[in-house]
Chains A and B, each alone.
Chain A
């Protein structure tokens, strides 16, 4: 029987999805040989494939019970999946020392298991037993952003003071929003890859305005002082947001025909 999670979320203690709970219960009964066979299955569509959430539980169970054998079986498999994730998400060329950053992330993540149940975040791994990929996404992005912040100390240029009301660019941003709403269906999705790079190349203020308004769905501004908008999130005026969107649109205009 899987141990209950301790982390308290907004609606009470975190709860694993039913499918994860059931798989953990079954996995805990496996002897080493069948467990090894299950761990060797890499195709997630295979009914016997063990989910990463389950592997996290197995490693933690091994850690709590002093079962080094269980840790030795499950943790390398989990880390190998993480490494595959990192090679895709932190590719060479994205950062000057991408390989080192990937290794740092992998090493830091492995240490979470050693520190499980101790320190200021004793139940941090509970998140990984609920939604592994999304939890690991936080871990990865957090380290990458720290690294990016260390490398980039770009001086903010003063924004041009544009007169008049900015032009709307509904067509461009309709394409951008659509790309974010529809999931990538194949490995070589060139359009999304190019759009991703183009958005990253935007100045931060323009990038933030585009994402807040056209992906997260914020209004540019509001007459209601209690309503959060892109302007309040960026601590600027609605007109500034529109100016940033206009400048971004001119850089993204080529994508309106490509989708």
Chain B
């Protein structure tokens, strides 16, 4: 009765969707029915039905109120980063045969993002190895740091840890920010400055890191 920690097989994912889609709160008849269709996942389905039931206790009224209160003219940083991930994934899916090349030094937004192919676990693992926070690594991924302020030692450390050519990592950091995003991210009539990049030190200082972690990163 413990949650699955690994990626789910497609059939289990299908079964869990079926359980979640059918009713607001599953009942015994629904759970029995889904388990009959996917008997190999009986325990996991039971756990998930329980989780859905507990989740449903709050109802959707609060969520609906939160959605209704959204300001359609404001794009949050989290949504912006999610859009960036979408575009990176789209790029990876669209050009699966493209290999990292040392010639990718373009400062256009099309430079290969070596973080794009990282799974959630890989991303966290990278942050752990770097002894940094996910927030800081997200800044690296999203090109939010002035490339010229990154120390050579830090660049090399990132390249080594990602098992990516140093040229590719340097090109990624140097590429235009938010390259994946289109004109929809203009929050005003004018073109956004696409800026807001921090220096390496500013990024380190503002990512929720301890003093020791900050010193270690800046010393690279």
Contacts and interface: CB of A to CB of B under 8 A. Distances in A.
Partners in one complex: yes
Interface of A: 9-10, 39-44, 63, 68-69, 71-73, 75-77, 79-81, 83-85, 87-89, 97, 100, 102-104, 106-111, 113-115, 118, 120-121, 124, 127, 130-131, 133-135, 137-138, 141-142, 145-146, 148-150, 179-180, 183-187, 189, 192-193, 195-196, 199-200, 204-205, 207-208, 211-212, 215-218, 228, 233-234
16 contacts: A42-B67, A76-B75, A83-B78, A85-B66, A88-B63, A103-B134, A106-B82, A114-B86, A114-B89, A115-B93, A127-B21, A134-B21, A135-B21, A180-B25, A189-B59, A216-B31
Interface string B9-27: 0100110111111101111
A80 B10 contact: no
A41 B71 CA distance: 9
Contacts, number: 220
A185 B65 CA distance: 11
B20 A145 contact: no
A111 B13 contact: no
A52 B45 CA distance: 26
B212 interface: no
Which of A145, A204, A217 has the most C-beta atoms of chain B within 10 angstroms of its own C-beta? A145
B2 A193 contact: no
B120 A83 contact: no
B103 interface: no
B53 A114 contact: no
Chain B interface size band reads 35 or more
A145 B72 CA distance: 31
Interface in B31-56: 31-33, 35, 37, 42, 46-56
Interface string B67-96: 111101101101101110111111011000
A196 B57 contact: yes
A241 to B, nearest CB: 13
Interface stretch (B154-162, B178-186, B194-202): B178-186
